[in-house]
Amino acid sequence: MKFRLSNCLQYLILVGIMAGAIGCASIGNPSGGPRDEQPPRFVKGNPAPGSTNVPVNIGRINIDFDEIVNVKDAFSKVTVSPPSAQIPRVSSQGRRVTVNFQDTLASNTTYTINFGSAIEDNNESNPLENFSYTFSTGAATDSLRIAGIVVSAADLEPRQTRLVGVFRIPDEIADSVYKPSATDTLIFSRRFDRVTKTDDRGRFSIEGLAPGRYRIYSIDDTNNDFIYNTPTEEIAYSEEVIVPTSEYATASDTVFNNKTGEIDTILTRPRTIYLPNDIILRSALSKRQQQYIKRYERIDSTRIVVVMGASAGQLPDIRLVGDTLPLYHYGITEKRAENDSITIWLKDKRIIGTDTLRVALTYQRLDSLNQYTSTTDTLRFTTDRKQKQAPRKSAAAAKREEGKKKASSVIKQSTHRPGEDTAETESAILQGTEEKTEEKKSKNKKGKKDAEEDVRPKLLTINWETETQEVNKPLSFETQTPVARIDTSGIRLSQRVDTVWNELLQGATLPLRQDTLNPRKYYIDYKWEAGGEYKVEIDSLAITDIYGLANGKEETPVRVRAENEYGSLLMRLTDWPAGIPAFVELLNSSDRVIESVAVSNGIAYFPYLTAGKYYLRVIHDRNGDGHRDSSDIITGRQAEESYYYPKSINLKRNWNKDETWQVFATPVDAMKPEAILKNKPAANLKGRKINTAKEEEDEEDE
């Protein structure tokens, strides 16, 4: 009996081993459990969070988590508030994050270390979002906080990892003394009292605030000194005095039944709400930019270019050293609207003939107090004049010259060989030389003709902007060099009717105007007929430039886009305040401006649009000049605000859209469509792409 049981046991063991072998041989995915999607969890800290009377010379704090962690981009993501001259060092080892202070802490001060999303687990890089750590070197911990968002004033892009800081207004000082203006020198002279940084959505929260009044700012802080000391850094600020408060409220948590999906229990708990929590800071480069000479060159003997590093209200003063007249007096000036790029086309022959020009350039530069003062730099412009080259030889001439060289080489290198008739050889060489002489005479005649063709006068080039003309826009062309004279009697505009060309305009009736910035660009203003065929004829010598160069005869066809190729868009801004100036910008899928129209009676109308996808934003045009103006911290002027239409507009051919837009119905941080959002959050990118596709699909269905 024992024997039989033993055999059975052995049999069962053998079967188990075979089954295990078969299982190992089968193809399948190993089971490692669900993917870790949870961020690290805080375990403990030394000193403990919320501790008071922490020694000012503590030097280091340790924070432990439940798994191995890494600190990513600590320099840009981690902030210690209040800031100090020496930035603390943040590092990780195993499950511990260590913060080493480089100097002594301030006494009776609440410290907050905001890690942002810098702490991640080691395995899946799950970030611990908005983790902060607070302690105090005094007997109490300040617990108030304020929150908001920082966006670009121009395009509502969230400003990521931007420094946000506050100054506390002393109780005995009026609000106006600490107002963002020329009287407010704090931001230029010392570090903020409390700071934090924005996350990847532009959101911020400043913690550890004591009761009181504050001024709030956001700066780019590229040099990490916690001071706004260069106008090249973007800045945002609130004109309102910030008074942090808190209030108690009741929060409800709903527990659902896992089996039925119905509500099982509603739990209530007390919570603290910190206010204000909806601060909007619109960031922009200050209009008061530091000016400098970015580039200068003399392209050729007739043209010099100066490129400045920032825009300016007026052109810099440019004159030859020792001369009393500006250099603009000796030529034609071409510039950009911002006065940051200037080209001077020289007309004076004496200046053109001078190889080296010494020029004094005077411009406005910001001093240490951010006030404009005149600065003069002496520049040296040189030109390399091309040396006259010998006429290019034709292929036949080059071949004849090569034959002459070979003949000369034969004469020099030939030696008498046994059995060779020297006289016969020399005769053959001489005969070949005579033939080459005849060819040379023929070459001289042809070369003279070629030379005459090479020196024929060049023609002034005229470039037309497009062959397809828009109904509502002028026809434009640009000359190669500035024009000295236009004989409009030599320019004709004609329209084709059936097979006949009817002349429409010529001479004084031709509506020709010059561009205000580019003197080489001209416009023909005409009320075009949709789908019409036109042509512009220009006679020879009708246009002459400042160097005496004239155009040749030419004929340019112009085809106007047909009516059914267009659509139109009428946008009604239903909640825009009456009497407040504004203009609406039509944007493409790259967030670039295509067209701009003023808002009139709450309506923005775009009559001639080609089929495509468009986006819109409206700009609060405070001064009514039709341009978006930037901020100026010195004068206390805010940048003009932009607001986006939250959806795309899909316009089809021969389609007229009439839309309504409640500008202020959508929160500022949710206005800009994600399809054209450049600074997208790092989290949930997949979900955001799906949402974007859904939004575009809904618009198409519309």
pLDDT at 413 over 90: no
pLDDT in tens, 226-238: 888 777 788 999 9
Question: Can the peptide bond before residue 557 be classed as cis, meaning omega within 30 degrees of 0?
Answer: no
Residues 487-493, mean pLDDT to the nearest whole number = 93
pLDDT of 324 strictly over 90 = yes
Read off the pLDDT of residues 303-312 as tens digits, 9 standing for 90 and up: 999 999 998 8
Q: Distance between CA 611 and CA 592 in Å, rounded? A: 17
User: Using CA atoms, how far apart are residues 660 and 570, in angstroms rounded to an integer?
Assistant: 8
What does the pLDDT read at residue 308?
A: 95
Which domains are delineated in the chain?
Answer: 47-141 (2.60.40.1220), 144-285 (2.60.40), 297-382 (2.60.40), 462-561 (2.60.40.1220), 564-701 (2.60.40.1120)
- Pairing status of strand 245-256 against strand 263-275: antiparallel
Residue bearing the bigger pLDDT, 115 or 433: 115
Residues 6+ apart with CB under 8 A from 698: none
What would the two tokens of residue 163 be? 């420094």
The overall average pLDDT reported for the chain is 83
Averaged pLDDT for residues 573-594: 96
81-104 per-residue burial string, b: 16 or more CB within 10 A, e: under 16: bbbbeebbebebeebbbebebeee
Q: How far is the C-alpha of 379 from the C-alpha of 296, rounded, in Å?
A: 8
Please, which residues have CB within 8 angstroms of residue 559's CB and are 6 or more apart in sequence?
Answer: 467, 468, 469, 532, 533, 534
| pLDDT for 488 | 92
Region of 541 (left: φ > 0; alpha: ψ -120 to 50; beta: rest) is left
Q: So what's the pLDDT on residue 4?
A: 41
Q: How many C-alpha atoms does 371 have within 13 Å on its Cβ side? A: 5
- State percent of the chain over pLDDT 70: 81
Looking at residue 32, its pLDDT comes to 53
Share above pLDDT 90 across residues of the chain, in percent, rounded to a whole number: 61
Q: Is 408 helix (H, G, I), strand (E, B) or coil?
A: helix
- Could you give the CA distance from residue 196 to residue 218 in angstroms, rounded to a whole number? 10
| Confidence category of residue 199, pLDDT binned at 50, 70, 90 | very high
pLDDT value of residue 34: 66
Per DSSP, the three-state class of 701 is helix
pLDDT confidence band for 649 (50 / 70 / 90): very high
Close Cβ partners of 549 (under 8 Å, ≥ 6 residues apart):
457, 458, 459, 460, 481
What is the reported pLDDT for 444?
Answer: 54
Q: What is the pLDDT of residue 456?
A: 43
pLDDT surpassing 70 at residue 288: yes
Alpha-carbon dihedral sign for residues 256, 259, 262, 263: negative
Model pLDDT for residues 87-137, shown as the tens digit of each residue: 899 999 999 999 999 989 999 999 999 998 899 998 888 999 889 999 999
Cα separation of 653 and 609, whole Å? 9
Across 370-395, average pLDDT? 73
Output the pLDDT for position 263. Answer: 75
As a whole number, mean pLDDT of residues 606-614 equals: 95
Of 210, 103, 221, the closest CA to residue 167 belongs to 210
CB atoms within 10 A of CB 697: 10
615 contacts 623 by C-beta, under 8 angstroms: no
Instruction: Write out pLDDT tens, residues 22-76.
Output: 444 433 344 455 677 789 999 999 999 999 999 999 999 999 999 999 999 998 8
Q: Which of 396, 358, 392, 363 has its CA nearest to residue 378?
A: 358
Q: What is the pTM for the complete model shown?
A: 0.78
CB proximity list for 52: less than 8 A, separation 6 or greater: 135, 136, 138, 139, 140, 141
**What confidence score (pLDDT) does residue 222 get?**
82
Tell me: pLDDT of 314 over 70. Answer: yes
